Amino acid sequence: MPSQSSRFEIAPWSIGWRGWDDARQARRESVFSLSNGHIGWRGSLDEGDPCEVPGAYLNGLYEQHPMPYAEDGYGYPEHGESTVIAPDGKVIRLLVGDEPFDIREGRLEHHAQELDFRAGTLHREVYWTSAAGASVRIESTRLVSLTHRAVAAVDYRVTALSGPIDITVLSEIVANEPLPEVHPDERVMAALERPFDAVDRSVAGTRATLLHRTRRSRIGVAVAMDHIVSGAANVETTATDDVARTTVTVRLAAGEGIRLQKFVGHEWSHALTDHALRDRVEAAVSTAVAREWDGLAREQREFLDAFWEASDVTVEGSARLQQAVRFSLFQVLQSAARAEVRSIPGKGLTGPGYEGHTFWDAETFVLPVLTYTLPDAAAGALRWRRATIDKARERAEQLHLAGAAFPWRTISGRECSGYWPAGTVAFHINADIAGAVLRHVRVTGDRDFERDVGLEILVETARLWVALGRFDADGVFHIDGITGPDEYSALVDDNIFTNLSAQRNLRGAAHAARRHPSAARRLGVSDEEIGSWELVADAVAVPFDAVRGVHQQSAGFTELERWDFAATSSEQYPLHSHFPYFDLYRKQVLKQADLVLALQLFPECFSAEATARAFAYYEELTVRDSSLSASTQAVVAARVGHLGLAVEYLTEAATIDLDDLKDDVDDGLHVAALAGVWTAVVWGLGGMTDGDDGLAFCPRVAEPITRFGFGVRIAGEVLRVDAAAEATTYTLSGGHPLCIRHFGEVVELEPGVPVQLATPPLPSPGETPTQPPGRSPRELRAAAQA
């Protein structure tokens, strides 16, 4: 498991890197990202250079650009949206004597960066001697506050190791930094060049504020900074349109130091006036200054202590896996903690990948984890979807459908997909959102949320499904010509994942509408309409190949030609970079779990035998060119008893970003894949399912894991699960007694009373399924590290 290539230092509660290496700096910038879901700071060096992929992001801030098409079509989105680099307040440049500190010059004696999962900080330590022989120690610690949404801060210290040395520290906000290529079309990139118009700037003492507005999307952005400088230094603050700068100059004798505490406030808005924006960020900065660095850092640790106490995932037997599991959960937390009525983009706020867009990943992979670990963050993300429902209604109308059609990829809530066979028609996004609502309500028991936020989503998506599908002469309901999760298939009929997701959506809408009759009436829901949802739900097609005795990912799938895996070389992966779509679409080959995701999420719809057969069948076809597959395969592998394979998939999920298995971590982390690490442990090894009849577990350890534990929040309480080979201990924190199932047996847990239950013997799972040549999780990892 430990990878030679990654070279990240292994520790239980942090991840570090020692020394310096020009190669793949961007990967470390992504891994060392700090975020609270509102602000994202990549792990770039304080001094700004060298830098591979710069980045400071504000969730929801975007610039609009024209969408380029070689041939036009009805309903194609006219405008795209792209993340832009927000005015960047993390920059602190340093002059030692009159030499700019640059790790590529002078002599770098020591360099270390460490992301601390409990402190919620990125710490850096440098010993450096300039070409002229001046030696300094630099320590910087950053945080993006989990308790003050608009605030990020840097504690920056320089100590003279020789002396005397003239030190100049330039603390800056820099706007209109160039965006890395986020789109292949030059014209799109041109539209994103220098996205901000300067609106206003102000300086007061050590505080400076820059106010900008994006050119096309007309979003106001304010970023302010203030400082506390310790030591007798000269401090001056200035601002131009795109740069605010506080300059600190001091002469240090050997052994003397200077400390700069920097507090940065961030806000953006479509609606607020410039004055209001400025007032808000300056207030945020004032609050932060009052707390000073130590206060912010203490609150940060307290927030995380509470989080980890409830939600830590322990894995014994592999230090690297333990680290990866906590890293993953920490980054998932960071992506959403303070998003609050914002989305969770595919890359979180860790990079410009996917133009900063949000996909189905959020609801399908990330929200289940958040609902069980940080439910308010999950609620916030769903409130964001609810806030975009008018755009989704307009889209449905444009498509001549009913209800709401949520976008496949977006920042603002408008559809931004430029390839309709894998965008517009991936309608499952709607059921994914509805499913996240239903789980959230089920797990939290929050009926107010259900009524005020969830119901409208459920109702409008239910209406979409009724309009989208059709009954055949035999009364079976079909959803034709759509695209399911697997991106190597498109325009299929009766994709099982989609159909079962729609079924859950429709039934959930019916239940919720019955539970909130007056709210439902306000949405125009009649008893007849509820009846129609149930009728459709009961009638959805679930294609099964009777000859082969296996479920079909979509109608006819198992009769398609098989991909010629034997003729495919390892250099030809990912397949979509080497083969045309049409050839992938017409053959049996999967980019990612699709039917197997249905197995994971709808266990009640498949017998144990059907699950095992389907898993084995689709394993042979799944190449995992997507990061959204390993965790699903881990879950189902464990469920059908192939625990070794499950651990392999867990390991793959845990290394996708740390070992850069997809060769694209430069652009940001795969938040959904990181969430999948939790899923692979909790749903996979923990054997969790969470249907209408409550939580169920079947925990089993497997080599090299000797013991593992996790916590799930349920109805405001925490259920800790601690699993070893022979037995599992369940501990409920408080509240009412809770019924769960352990290997099918119903157990009532009393608050505060640990219950230890034995692990039954593992029935023989039969032959281990095989993957396409070269595409087993072990081979994939080996290839990526080669």
> Does residue 548 touch a copy of itself according to CB under 8 A?
no
Q: Give the whole-angstrom CA distance, residue 46 versus residue 141.
A: 10
Distance in angstroms (rounded) separating the CA atoms of residues 454 and 383: 8
Q: For residue 368, give the amino acid letter.
A: P
Question: Taking the complex as a whole, how short is the minimal distance between the CB of residue 463 and a copy of itself, in angstroms?
Answer: 16
Local structure of 17: helix, strand or coil: strand
For residue 60, the cross-strand partners are none
Residue 700, classed as helix, strand or coil, is coil
Residues 432-471: x where in contact with a copy of itself by CB under 8 A, - otherwise, as a string: --------------------------------------x-
Which CB, 238 or 419, lies closer to a copy of itself?
419
**Cβ(721)–Cβ(686) below 8 Å:** yes
The set of residues, in sequence order, having a beta carbon less than 8 Å from that of 33 and lying 6+ positions away, is: 40, 41, 42, 43, 331, 334, 348, 349, 350, 351, 668, 669
Give the C-alpha separation, 28 to 5, whole Å: 13
Distance in Å, CB of 232 to a copy of itself, minimum:
57
Query: Which one of 66-74, 655-663, 707-715, 760-768 is the stretch in contact with a copy of itself (CB under 8 A)?
Result: 66-74
List the catalytic residue out of 172, 340, 450, 487.
487
Contact pattern from residue 395 through residue 434 relative to a copy of itself, giving x for each residue in contact according to CB under 8 A and a dash for the rest: ----xx----------------xxxxx-xxx---------
In the set 22, 72, 474, 663, which binds a copy of itself (CB under 8 A)?
Answer: 72
> Is residue 68 reached through a cis peptide bond, with omega within 30 degrees of 0 on the bond before it?
no
According to the binding rule CB under 8 A, does residue 586 interact with a copy of itself? yes
Q: How far is the CB of 359 from a copy of itself (least distance, A)?
A: 13
Residue 75 binds a copy of itself (CB under 8 A): yes
Both tokens of 21, joined, read: 């290496």
Q: How far is the CB of 258 from a copy of itself (least distance, A)?
A: 49
Residue 110 identity (one-letter amino acid)? H
Q: How far is the CB of 416 from a copy of itself (least distance, A)?
A: 9
Which token pair is 87? 């005015």
Q: Is 194 in the site for a copy of itself (CB under 8 A)?
A: no
CB of 347: closest distance to a copy of itself in angstroms? 17
Q: Nearest to residue 657, comparing CAs of 33, 216, 199?
A: 33
Considering only 178-186, 219-227, 665-673, 729-737, which stretch makes contact with a copy of itself by CB under 8 A?
Answer: 178-186
729 exposure class (CB count in 10 Å sphere: 0-12, 13-18, 19+): middle
**Count of residues that interact with a copy of itself, criterion CB under 8 A:** 48
Minimum distance between the CB of residue 500 and a copy of itself, rounded to whole angstroms?
20
Binding mask 471-510 toward a copy of itself (x if CB under 8 A, else -) reads -------x-xxx-------xx-x-----------------
Tokens of 9: 């230092």
Does position 67 interact with a copy of itself (CB under 8 A)? The reply is yes
Element (H, E) at 745: strand 745-749
Please pick, from the candidates 7, 69, 521, 768, the single residue that binds a copy of itself as defined by CB under 8 A: 69
Instruction: Decide if residue 585 touches a copy of itself (CB under 8 A).
Output: yes
Query: Is the CB of 485 or the CB of 686 nearer to a copy of itself?
Result: 485
Structure tokens at 131: 């070409």
Q: Whole-number minimum distance, CB 516 to a copy of itself, in Å?
A: 33
The C-alpha angle 541, 543, 546, rounded to 5 degrees, equals 140
Instruction: Tell me, yes or no, if 302 is annotated catalytic.
Output: no
**Residue whose tokens read 């009649």:** 526
Note whether 571 binds a copy of itself by CB under 8 A.
no
The correct pick among 247, 579, 613, 729 for binding a copy of itself (CB under 8 A) is: 579
What is the distance between the alpha carbons of residues 349 and 352, in angstroms, rounded to a whole number?
A: 8
C-beta of residue 697 within 8 angstroms of C-beta of residue 688: yes
String of DSSP letters for 637-672 = HHHTT-HHHHHHHHHHHHHTTTTTTTS-GGG---HH
Q: Which residue among 7, 107, 110, 187 contacts a copy of itself (CB under 8 A)?
A: 187
Q: Is the peptide bond before 368 cis (omega within 30 degrees of 0)?
A: no
Comparison of 13 and 581: residue with beta carbon closer to a copy of itself: 581
Q: Does 546 bind a copy of itself (CB under 8 A)?
A: no
C-beta closer to a copy of itself: residue 188 or 635: 188
DSSP assignment of 154-189 equals EEEEEEESSS-EEEEEEEEEE-SPPPPP-SS-HHHH
| Residue of 105, 583, 604, 703 that binds a copy of itself (CB under 8 A) | 583
> Alpha-carbon torsion 292, 297, 303, 305, what sign?
negative
CB of 419 to a copy of itself, least distance (A): 4
Task: Find the binder of a copy of itself among 544, 565, 581, 743 (CB under 8 A).
Answer: 581
How far apart are alpha carbons 782 and 786 in whole angstroms? 6
Residue 566 binds a copy of itself, judged by CB under 8 A:
no
Which residues of this chain interact with a copy of itself, rule CB under 8 A?
66-77, 80, 184-187, 399-400, 417-421, 423-425, 470, 478, 480-482, 490-491, 493, 560-561, 576-583, 585-587
Catalytic residues: 487
